[in-house]
Structure 1
Amino acid sequence: MSAIIDAAFARTRVVVMVLAFLLSFGTVAYVQIPKEAAPEVPIPVIYVITTLEGISPEDAERLLIEPLETELASITGVEEMSATARQGSASVTLEFDAGFDSDEALDSVREAVDRAREDLPEDATEPSVNEVNTALFPILTAILSGPVPERTLNQLATELQDRLEALPGVLEVDIGGARDELLEVLIDPTVFETYNISFEELIGQIQRNNRLIAAGAIETGAGRIVLKVPGLIEDIDDVMELPVKVRDGTVVSFSEVATIRRTFEDPSGFARIDGQPALALEIKKRVGANIIATVENAKRVIDESTRDWPESVRVDYMQDQSEYVRDILSDLEANVIAAVLLVMIVVIWALGWRPGLLVGLAIPGAFLTGVGALWAMGETMNIVVLFSLIMVVGMLVDGAIVTVELADRKLQEGLAPPAAYAAAAKRMAWPIIASTVTTLSVFFPLLFWTGTVGEFMRFLPITVILTLSASLAMALVFIPVLGGVIGRAQPQSAAAKRLLHESEAGDPRRAGGWTGRYAQVVQWAVVRPWAVLGFALALLIGSFASYAEYGRGVIFFPEVEPDFMQVTVRARDNFSIHEQ
């Protein structure tokens, strides 16, 4: 270690430039690093859903669940499989081992579902395979509401959806509460009797004329041309012009036997804000995108879009995750600034303003270096990282305080600043390294924490290890080299010189003040080791006993006040959706 310290002091300018680079790089990383509320953790749960209109729970278990369970049971890595049958639908949930390969698991589930599809009823919907992914949770919900026609509100929401999905940080935008449009056919039975047309003929005619037919390909010397017969219905006119029947050279078209109008499917629910109909746009960000920047861009696009909207349409925002992340970042900045100021005040009071400046620089230096390393590793700034940074604030200055304090003593002995700080760094190198490694050894095993909780909490040991390692470099290299440049011997009073002499060469018990009383307590404890050991054991046992008696148990996260409340009212009778 002495060789590294000597090399650093021999290249003072290079070390100062490296420190400036780390501070600058860390500042850029702190601004650019993707920020999110919770870490994006792969949850080992995949579920399959299929529906069949009108089927009872008993029949759903026999006709829908059993074929799916038979095929899904052959998938390896499944820890638990559960199924639920409901009126009109069925679902199967698969819980995999923690640390699973989500892509491989999804492929295996889809293959099993494809095999089971042959055994499902023909009228059953195509089974959908879904994974539980925290990255797909909405980061912002925009509510569109106002006294406008439903079709107008749907059109505004669809246009806004397209603009939002064009943003680089947005993965997708789901519209909640919108009803799908459809064509409603009104048939006059008298007309049907006149033309001798049945309902089956009419429905079959529509189905046969709403198909995309591949007509093969033509190989030519210039290339290969793919042919197709366009037969898809695209608008109302296509339906109205469909021939229904040909008799004696006369063509009966659809418009002559039926009336068609645009409408919506029957509602399954209603959304209201202040009594007005509403639609919800749930915005989801891409993996690794900056949640604060993504929400700001989304709000900017929404504000630009609303300029051309009717004045009666308003936009409300709900569940804005960026505000939560921004509040945590503000708390972190306040804690860092407060820690730097308090440390500098204490050290300036004890050693002077120059040592205080050097020790205070160790905190932002270690912080920004750790954040820069996280950014380079492709990690994000989330609640676990922020908690880890706040937790290690008090640990980052220990080594720097020891080095600077010993260097200050060397300066009082008459050594030049470079020699004093180099000697202090060499003398305290291994004690500081041992202290830091002891702390790191507590967090190192957490890197191998398995399960979903381990994936969630892995940011804790990574952040602590990076920042404490950076603080070690600050205490032994950067701060001593910088101290050799700006360090100066501080003038001392007679009392301070007497205290230093008693501490170094005399009897510390005669130093007086808090130092003298502390030395007397230590001397009393040294001559009574068994009493001190007994007191320590009693304190340890008493702590466990007190927790067993008065402890309130263990929870993963503390309970906090909710940001919003949801009220659910259930009716006893089977009300229609309009009555509800």
Structure 2
Amino acid sequence: MNIGAFSTKNPVLVNIVTLLILSVGFLSVVRLPQEQFAEVPFFFINITVPYPGVSAQDIESTVTARVESTMQGLDKLSAVRSLTNDGVTNIQLEFDQGITRPEFDRVFQEVQNRYSALSLPDGVASAGISEFSSNDFLPVIEVVLHGNLPYVELNSIAQRLADTFEGVPQVSDVQMVGSRDPVIYIESDQERLETLGISINQIVQAVRVRSTTTPGGSLVMPDRSLLLRTSGEIAGPQDFNGVILRSGDPGQAIRISDVASIREGFDSEGLAARYNGRPAITLRITKVPGGSSVGIIEDIQAKVLAYQQSGVPEGLEIDFFNDSTVQIKDSISVLVSNAIVGLVLLVAILLVFVGVRNALMTALGIPVTFAATFFLLEAFGETLNSNTLFGLVLVLGLIVDHAIVIVENSFRLQQEGLDRHAAAIKGLNQVVIPVWAATATTVAAFLPLTFLPGVIGRFLRVVPLTVSIALIVSTFEATLFLPSHFADWPGKMRETRFARWFM
């Protein structure tokens, strides 16, 4: 097939496709999620299983061991780790570094299916099954609530806002930093203890027995089997008063209320945060894989503004901290300005050596190439980040090389007496194989870098991917579209004075 002849004979089709690529590329730029750095998947799966009111030892035997056993044999599973505390267990599944994204997605679905089919004791709450990536320790923004308010009120407001933020699309988790756990204090009367002959250890033992859920074995029936357990009797602070410490004759039982007072409070050993010298609670917000940091932050700021307009307690202030959009916009601004400067210098050099008409035809390939590259990056699930823009700046000078070769060769043939159409066709046909060979060798140098192993390889893979896509697209543009532009664009072809001087 004569590519040059096809291009010059179908100028309308070429122009329509050019406009279509520019339009689709613009939409892709608008839709692409924006973030400061490329997201790095670590290929870990976290399974968090709450089991309220049950000791760590009981959870270990009734939940953790079963989940670990069920997950054995998963494809490319390299390690299983677990951490069990009172009331909750966390199991982490680590997979081989060589696992691909499609393979990991299939394994993630299998983990969900296996857990759904697992038989666990009654009382086990819904599990959280999530992928661990760089998003989990790089929050998109932190919202700081601070002021001279009672801690109970500050904590309550922070909890309500956290619940609101968790409903924002693409938000993965909201972590409250500086929020201390609620506790119940049992303050004993030493004189009463001595009078009644009750020790502190007796109080501790009685509370432990009454608040612990104890497994009671299993009941096997012909058609099914049931797990038995004894639930703790304490549901709230008021229930501590009735805990019996020692019983004797009817009506003479000694209860906690006889020797101690009960009050609610917060853990004094928890993390205490301050902001500008005042008590504070920070809400750290992370996003789901592929989420747009800019979109999430705009939604979060809108939620905060709506809350402030509804009226906030006197003395409470809400500030934003570690706003990633600031870094994102700064990084994008620097790279875009560098790209614009490079583009201007590139066009200026083309004007000097190949003339206005040839320079404009050659430079047209830059926005077309970038538009198609953005479209393909969106199709591949990439985001608009510093690495992506760095790849585009890196390839900026390379994507016009082939166009310069084709235009200059066609211009030479026109000077030798051929008309524009014939010069465009012959000029392309003479160099099309070397042009594609040059692209292939450059792509062959960059593309293997996308397969670098480990976290660093996954972090940097978008740079060679962007460069390779842009080079291939620019070569298609130069061989399919440029001959049509050369043949039909108005204006006279003149050799510049600088070009004659160099020749």
2:380 to 377, 402, 420: 377
What is the match of residue 148 of structure 1? Answer: 149
Find the aligned partners of 1:293 and 1:515 in 2 and give their Cα distance: 49
Find the aligned partners of 1:302 and 1:515 in 2 and give their Cα distance: 61
Q: Is the counterpart of residue 136 in structure 1 residue 136 in structure 2?
A: yes
Displacement of 1:366:
0.8
Structure with higher RCO (Cα < 8 A, 6+ apart): 2
8 Å contact kept, 2:179–2:271: no
Displacement of 1:231:
4.6
- Structure 1 gaps of 5+ residues are 48-76, 81-93, 108-129, 500-512, 520-580
Task: Give per-residue Cα distances to partners, 1:421-477, cap 9 Å, x unaligned.
Answer: 333322331232232223223213323433433222222221111000011011111
Q: Is the counterpart of residue 310 in structure 1 residue 310 in structure 2?
A: no
Q: Is the counterpart of residue 465 in structure 1 residue 476 in structure 2?
A: no
Tell me: CA distance 1:213–1:438, structure 2 relative to 1, closer, same or farther (3 Å): closer
**Matching residue's letter, 2:303:** V
Task: Give per-residue Cα distances to partners, 1:67-124, cap 9 Å, x unaligned.
Answer: xxxxxxxxxx9999xxxxxxxxxxxxx999753689889x9xxxxxxxxxxxxxxxxx
What is the match of residue 421 of structure 1? Answer: 424
Find the aligned partners of 1:322 and 1:288 in 2 and give their Cα distance: 15
Q: Is the counterpart of residue 453 in structure 1 residue 456 in structure 2?
A: yes
Displacement of 1:209:
3.3
Q: Is the counterpart of residue 267 in structure 1 residue 266 in structure 2?
A: no
Q: Is the counterpart of residue 35 in structure 1 residue 38 in structure 2?
A: no
Displacement of 1:225:
12
8 Å contact kept, 1:366–1:474: yes
Tell me: CA distance 1:345–1:201, structure 2 relative to 1, closer, same or farther (3 Å): same
Find the aligned partners of 2:475 and 2:293 in 1 and give their Cα distance: 32
8 Å contact kept, 1:239–1:254: yes
Task: Give per-residue Cα distances to partners, 1:125-184, cap 9 Å, x unaligned.
Answer: xxxxx9984221222222221111111221122111111122122111211122111111
Tell me: CA distance 1:484–1:240, structure 2 relative to 1, closer, same or farther (3 Å): farther
Find the aligned partners of 1:289 and 1:45 in 2 and give their Cα distance: 18
TM-score by structure 1 length?
A: 0.64
Calculate percent identity across the aligned residue pairs: 29
What is the match of residue 405 of structure 2? Answer: 402
Displacement of 1:22:
1.8
What is the match of residue 277 of structure 1? Answer: 279
Find the aligned partners of 1:490 and 1:19 in 2 and give their Cα distance: 23
8 Å contact kept, 1:99–1:452: no
Displacement of 1:403:
2.5
Task: Give per-residue Cα distances to partners, 1:37-77, cap 9 Å, x unaligned.
Answer: 22233459999xxxxxxxxxxxxxxxxxxxxxxxxxxxxx9
**Matching residue's letter, 1:189:** Q
Please provide the CA RMSD for this pair. Answer: 4.2
Tell me: CA distance 1:343–1:514, structure 2 relative to 1, closer, same or farther (3 Å): closer
Q: Secondary structure at the match of 1:488?
A: coil
Structure 1 segment 65-76 matched on structure 2, within 5 A? none
Q: Secondary structure at the match of 2:481?
A: helix
Q: Is the counterpart of residue 444 in structure 1 residue 447 in structure 2?
A: yes
**Matching residue's letter, 1:136:** D
What is the match of residue 477 of structure 1? Answer: 480
Find the aligned partners of 1:200 and 1:350 in 2 and give their Cα distance: 92
Q: Secondary structure at the match of 2:35?
A: coil
8 Å contact kept, 2:4–2:424: no
Q: Secondary structure at the match of 2:361?
A: helix
> Which protein shows a greater Rg?
1
Displacement of 1:213:
7.4
Tell me: CA distance 1:383–1:183, structure 2 relative to 1, closer, same or farther (3 Å): same
8 Å contact kept, 1:412–1:489: no
Q: 351-360 or 404-413, which moves further after superposition?
A: 404-413
- Structure 2 gaps of 5+ residues are 47-75, 80-92, 111-129
Task: Give per-residue Cα distances to partners, 1:405-434, cap 9 Å, x unaligned.
Answer: 344455566755444433332233123223
Q: Is the counterpart of residue 159 in structure 1 residue 163 in structure 2?
A: no
What is the match of residue 173 of structure 1? Answer: 174
Tell me: CA distance 1:195–1:276, structure 2 relative to 1, closer, same or farther (3 Å): same
8 Å contact kept, 2:366–2:400: yes
Q: Secondary structure at the match of 1:34?
A: coil
Tell me: CA distance 1:232–1:377, structure 2 relative to 1, closer, same or farther (3 Å): farther
What is the match of residue 290 of structure 2? Answer: 288
8 Å contact kept, 2:346–2:397: no
**Matching residue's letter, 1:261:** R
Displacement of 1:387:
1.1
Q: Secondary structure at the match of 2:363?
A: helix
Q: Secondary structure at the match of 1:395?
A: coil
Displacement of 1:198:
4.5
Find the aligned partners of 1:419 and 1:27 in 2 and give their Cα distance: 34
Find the aligned partners of 1:213 and 1:443 in 2 and give their Cα distance: 61
Q: Is the counterpart of residue 431 in structure 1 residue 431 in structure 2?
A: no
**Matching residue's letter, 2:461:** R
Q: Secondary structure at the match of 1:175?
A: strand
Tell me: CA distance 1:260–1:459, structure 2 relative to 1, closer, same or farther (3 Å): same
What is the match of residue 362 of structure 1? Answer: 365
Find the aligned partners of 1:240 and 1:8 in 2 and give their Cα distance: 89
Tell me: CA distance 1:161–1:19, structure 2 relative to 1, closer, same or farther (3 Å): same
Task: Give per-residue Cα distances to partners, 1:1-47, cap 9 Å, x unaligned.
Answer: x5334334444333333222222221111121222222233459999
Displacement of 1:193:
5.1
8 Å contact kept, 1:240–1:255: yes
Displacement of 1:289:
1.0
**Matching residue's letter, 1:183:** I
TM-score by structure 2 length?
A: 0.73
Q: Secondary structure at the match of 2:211?
A: coil
Tell me: CA distance 1:323–1:209, structure 2 relative to 1, closer, same or farther (3 Å): same
Tell me: CA distance 1:186–1:445, structure 2 relative to 1, closer, same or farther (3 Å): closer
8 Å contact kept, 1:292–1:326: no
Tell me: CA distance 1:518–1:10, structure 2 relative to 1, closer, same or farther (3 Å): closer
Structure 1 segment 226-265 matched on structure 2, within 5 A? 231=232, 233-242=234-243, 245=247, 247-249=249-251, 254-265=256-267
Q: Is the counterpart of residue 338 in structure 1 residue 337 in structure 2?
A: no
Q: Secondary structure at the match of 2:163?
A: helix
Q: 258-267 or 227-236, which moves further after superposition?
A: 227-236
Q: Secondary structure at the match of 2:173?
A: strand
Structure 1 segment 546-561 matched on structure 2, within 5 A? none
What is the match of residue 210 of structure 1? Answer: 211
**Matching residue's letter, 2:142:** T
Find the aligned partners of 1:452 and 1:369 in 2 and give their Cα distance: 28
Tell me: CA distance 1:449–1:436, structure 2 relative to 1, closer, same or farther (3 Å): same
Find the aligned partners of 2:334 and 2:398 in 1 and give their Cα distance: 18
Find the aligned partners of 2:288 and 2:7 in 1 and give their Cα distance: 43
